[in-house]
Chain A
Amino acid sequence: MFAYFANPDRFMRLSAWGLPIATALAVVLFAIGLPWGLLYAPADFRQGESARIMFIHVPAAWWALGIYTFMAVASFAGLVWRHALADVAARAAAPVGAAYAALCLITGSFWGAPTWGTWWEWDARLTSMLVLFLTYVGYMALWGAIEDEARAARLAAILCLAGFINIPIVKFSVDWWNSLHQPASILRAGGSAMDPSMMQPLLVMAGAYLAAFAALLMAGMRADVFRRRASANAQRRARAA
């Protein structure tokens, strides 16, 4: 399946209609999910209305992890199999993942302030998520710092893979360490502990975040492919002149 997408022309043909579809899907899902979470989902028994922040915070956390995993797989494909579009994909995914991680951290602060009485706490979950955000920043900084693109791609891929060890740490931090952050209530052994009336809007928002990522990813990848074409054209013209 990976090999199917390695052909840039085929990717461009697919993303030509994939991008508008993903964008439309994201808009629709946000239009449904945002009011649902903000107004119509029930308030939490203990936390009250502040639990509505969950619908912004939790999908951001999920996909900050998911996008990094995507980048790690892409990095592996680029390094080991020399997949043509892999590093384009990883590079395009990074800003979205970083934005999701930052959104997770900031909305988490806003949620924690009324709930735990503190804007920040250096427990394992928050600290490892901050580390994930810094890893995203470092990844993007490395891409920008190395002049040769092919070399930058491979170095960034190595960095991405090295940082992947943080992903299980973020996920399991609330289980392994006594944490201020609440323990896993959805993806855990024994099934989810969340009421469907809250689970449904949460899943809609998760879908919205995913559709937005897909759209932003395709837009970024298309721009990169165009950029390479433009630079190749310019080189050809310079040589012909």
Chain B
Amino acid sequence: MIEALTHLMADRHWPYIWPCYALAVATFVALAVRAALNLRKWEKAARE
């Protein structure tokens, strides 16, 4: 896996590839965190 990664990082398209993967991960993390916080807030509010 490390060789595949180092091979990829040397490719001229690497500066275009990694932002896409990073953005996808960041997007899903952000959506998940937002959803979890929202759910926790209203679940607590409904219990009162």
Given a CB threshold of 8 Å, the question of whether A touches B is answered with yes
Query: Which residues of B have CB within 8 Å of A30?
Result: 28
Q: Which residues of B contact A176 (CB under 8 A)?
A: none
Complex alpha-carbon distance, A103 and B31, angstroms: 12
Q: Let me know if A57 is at the binding interface, CB within 8 A.
A: yes
A230/B21 in contact, CB under 8 A: no
Interface of A is mostly: helix
Q: Knowing A96-B31, A223-B35, say if A230 contacts B42 (CB, 8 Å).
A: yes
Number of A interface residues in the complex (CB < 8 A): 40
Please give the number of chain B residues whose Cβ is less than 8 angstroms from any Cβ of chain A in the complex.
30
Q: Which listed residue, A52, A107, A219, touches B23 by the CB 8 Å rule?
A: A107
- Residue of A38, A216, A224, A230 near B8 (CB, 8 A) is A38
| A56 within 8 A of partner (CB) | yes
**CB closest chain-B residue, reference A95:** B31
Task: Select the stretch in A61-69, A74-82, A108-116, A181-189 that faces chain B.
Answer: A108-116
A230 to chain B, nearest CB (A): 4
**Which residue from chain A places its CB closest to the CB of B19 in the assembled complex?**
A110
Contact indicator B20/A35 (Cβ below 8 Å): no
The B-contacting residues of A in range 78-116, CB under 8 angstroms, are: 95-96, 99, 102-103, 106-107, 110-111, 113-114
Partner of A226, one of B17, B21, B31, B43: B43
Enumerate B6-35 residues with CB–CB distance to A below 8 Å: 8, 11-14, 16-17, 19-21, 23-25, 27-28, 31-32, 35
In-complex Cβ contact of B28 among A39, A212, A220 (8 A): A212
| Residues 34-48 (chain B) with a chain A CB within 8 angstroms | 35-36, 38-39, 41-43, 45-46, 48
Q: For residue B39, which residues in chain A have a CB less than 8 angstroms away from its CB?
A: 219-220, 222-223, 226
Please tell me if the beta carbons of B31 and A50 are within 8 angstroms of each other in the complex. no
A35 to B12 Cα, complex, angstroms: 19
Min CB distance A8 to B, Å, is: 12
User: Which residues from 20 to 51 on chain A have a C-beta closer than 8 Å to any C-beta of chain B?
Assistant: 23, 26, 30, 34-35, 38-40, 48-50
| Contact of A39 with B46 in the complex, beta carbons under 8 Å | no
Contact check, A230 vs B17: say whether CB atoms are below 8 A apart.
Answer: no
Residues of chain B within 8 A (CB-CB) of A7 are: none
Residue pair A49, B21 in contact (C-beta under 8 Å): no
Going nearest first, the 10 A-B pairs with the smallest beta carbon separation are: A226-B42, A230-B45, A226-B46, A219-B35, A50-B13, A39-B4, A229-B46, A107-B20, A230-B46, A223-B39
Q: Can you name 23 A-B residue pairings with CB atoms under 8 Å? A: A26-B28, A38-B8, A38-B17, A39-B5, A39-B8, A40-B4, A49-B14, A56-B23, A60-B24, A99-B31, A103-B24, A106-B23, A113-B16, A212-B32, A215-B32, A215-B35, A219-B36, A219-B38, A220-B35, A223-B39, A223-B42, A227-B42, A229-B46
